[in-house]
Amino acid sequence: MTQGARHVAIIMDGNGRWAKKRLLPRVAGHKAGVEAVRTIVRAAGDMGLEALTLYAFSSENWKRPEEEVSDLMGLMKRFILSDLDEFAANDVKLKVIGNWRALAPDVVAMIDNALERTSGNKRTTLAVALNYGAQDELVRAASAAAAAGAITAEAIEAHLDTADMPPLDLLIRTSGEVRLSNFLLWQSAYAELYFTDKLWPDFAPADLQAALDQFARRERRYGGL
């Protein structure tokens, strides 16, 4: 039986191809992608989602050209700073997952401030995956479980970055790629998967609603008949 989704995650793919199609530099695609994030975050709350997790910067993204990494970090900082008031107005709680404390000190301080300012918000949780890799998350969770005395599925789950969030219901990937790319591997065990050819900057609230509508029509069996 399937009910409405509570927690949706999105692999936001296709910014570079969006820019290339328009003969624009890659940073223009990332800027357009940030605008899509704003639109989708607003829509998620209106659609009743309790949690939205976005794959913003993976631990593998450091392999990209230094200039592009710098552009991405700059855009991320401007997004968080400029949208803090909107988060407050829309009762959005910000959460950051991944090894984000390994980022530059000014970024860590900015994130700490944003987390503190939104900690009391309750309508929707926006989890941003920064310097995130699911394999690294599983190593950290298993190590913490072992230190606490037992490596069990329940103990590992209790130490995941998403432990205080609802179970993942639906994972969406844009741009036509059909893989998880080291994102929420544990959490996706029984999540529904939805792939679309839309490039991330073109992904609109109507596309999110279409994914949620398809999710509502699916029958989730969790390994049963």
Q: Are 94 and 128 in contact (CB under 8 A)?
A: yes
Which ranges constitute the DSSP H helices of the chain? 15-21, 26-46, 66-89, 105-118, 134-148, 153-158, 205-217
Is-catalytic flag, 46? Answer: no
Answer yes or no: 99 catalytic: no
* Distance, CA of 207 to CA of 113 (rounded, Å): 32
Return the structure tokens found at 40. 């989708």
How many other C-beta atoms lie within 10 A of the C-beta of residue 13?
A: 24
Catalytic residue among 13, 71, 83, 169: 13
DSSP codes joined into one string, 10-39 = EE---HHHHHHHTT--HHHHHHHHHHHHHH
How far apart, in whole angstroms, are the C-alpha atoms of residue 71 and residue 68?
5
- Please list the active-site residues: 13, 61
